[in-house]
Amino acid sequence: MPTLQQQFGNIDIYLFDQLLRGRITPGMRILDAGCGGGRNLVYLIREGYEVYAADADPQAIAALLQLTPPPPSGNLRQEPVEAMTFPDAFADVVISSAVLHFARTDEHFQAMLRGTWRTLKPGGLFFCRLASSIGIVREIQPLGGRRYLLPDGSERYLVDAALLESLTAELGGQLADPLKTTVVQNQRSMTTWVVRRNA
């Protein structure tokens, strides 16, 4: 019998929550935009979901092809999320996990977000985890715009609740869950932003 690690890989616990709540079900087309090594795709691929993925890093795509079973190579694209070549309204679920906080500027953030969002079908689910300033405002140092130096030494583009709520409305969506934020010992803050696109 496979271990939990073998069955689910290193899936984001908040994405796992969406599975448990029945929001991601067999037959749905899943797109992981900025997939990295595919940690959120192990279970979905194993269970036969129609999985697609994009990442600008060729090593990320190579890592996906090492999964067991590997996704079809034609479903994987080496390209940045702001320039993905998947069609509009392509996927039932779009995953953006630890991607958007690497934006360099406001314009880059908007390009990344909108390039990802446009691939989501009406009625589809957008699952996003990204760094935020929520709960650590006194610990971060501004670097210009929304880029900050975090206490853990990393530099990130940080959002806050007001921006995410505003973007939800601008994009034409509704929060599927309240914003949830995890603060890790005042070193960094990660917010889960789950949006249902209006039908």
The structural domains of the chain, with segments of one domain joined by +, span 4-197
Rounded Cα–Cα distance for residues 28 and 48 (Å): 10
Supply φ then ψ for residue 153, to 5 degrees. 95, -5
Residues pairing with 128 in the sheet: 96, 193
Is the full-model pTM beyond 0.85? yes
pLDDT single digits (tens) 30-72: 999 999 999 999 999 999 999 999 999 999 999 999 988 888 9
Taking CA atoms, 100 is separated from 20, 33, 124, 158, in Å, by: 25, 10, 19, 9
Taking CA atoms, 39 is separated from 32, 67, 126, 154, in Å, by: 10, 10, 17, 21
- 8-state DSSP, 12: -
Mean pLDDT value across the chain? 95
Residues 126-132, mean pLDDT to the nearest whole number: 98
Residue type present at position 113? L
Check if CATH label 1.10.10.1800 holds for domain 4-197.
Answer: no
Question: Do residues 190 and 167 lie in contact, with contact meaning Cβ atoms separated by under 8 Å?
Answer: no
pLDDT of residue 5: 79
Question: Do residues 64 and 76 lie in contact, with contact meaning Cβ atoms separated by under 8 Å?
Answer: yes
